[in-house]
C-alpha cells in the first residue's frame, strides 16, 4: 500500500507449493477512506526452498490499482500464469 509516496507491506498470503495456478485463501482487511485515493500494489513471488522471506525470492509479477477499484475479489493478470514454472512455491503480498 502506498502512503505519502512510499510503498509499505500490509500483509502476505500463505505460501502455495507445487501449483501452477495458486488460489490464495488469506483475506486482507484494509480501512477504506472515501475521501482519499489509496493505491495498492499486489506482487507474486517465487519462494526459494530455504524460504528466507522475499530477500531471495524471484519476482514473478504484480499489479497496481486503487482500493476503490478492488472492493471485490482480486484477479491477477493472466500474463503472470504463463511465466510461472509448474512446481513453483509462491505467495502474494499486499
Which pLDDT band, with edges at 50, 70 and 90, does 93 fall under? low
Q: Which residue has the higher pLDDT, 39 or 86?
A: 39
pLDDT for 50-85, tens place per residue? 666 677 788 888 888 888 775 555 555 555 544 544
pLDDT for 21-35, tens place per residue? 888 888 888 888 888
Give the cell for residue 48: 526459494
Pairing assessment for the beta strands 90-93 and 6-7 based on DSSP bridges: unpaired
Amino acid at each position: 500500500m502506498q502512503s505519502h509516496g512510499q510503498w509499505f507491506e500490509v500483509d502476505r498470503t500463505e505460501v502455495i507449493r507445487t501449483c501452477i495456478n495458486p488460489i490464495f485463501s488469506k483475506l486482507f482487511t484494509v480501512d477504506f477512506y472515501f475521501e482519499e485515493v489509496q493505491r495498492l500494489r499486489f506482487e507474486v513471488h517465487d519462494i526459494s526452498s530455504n524460504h528466507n522471506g522475499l530477500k531471495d525470492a524471484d519476482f514473478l509479477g504484480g499489479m497496481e490499482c486503487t482500493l476503490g477499484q478492488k472492493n471485490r475479489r482480486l484477479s491477477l493478470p493472466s500474463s503472470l500464469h504463463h511465466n510461472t514454472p509448474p512446481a513453483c512455491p509462491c505467495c502474494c503480498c499486499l
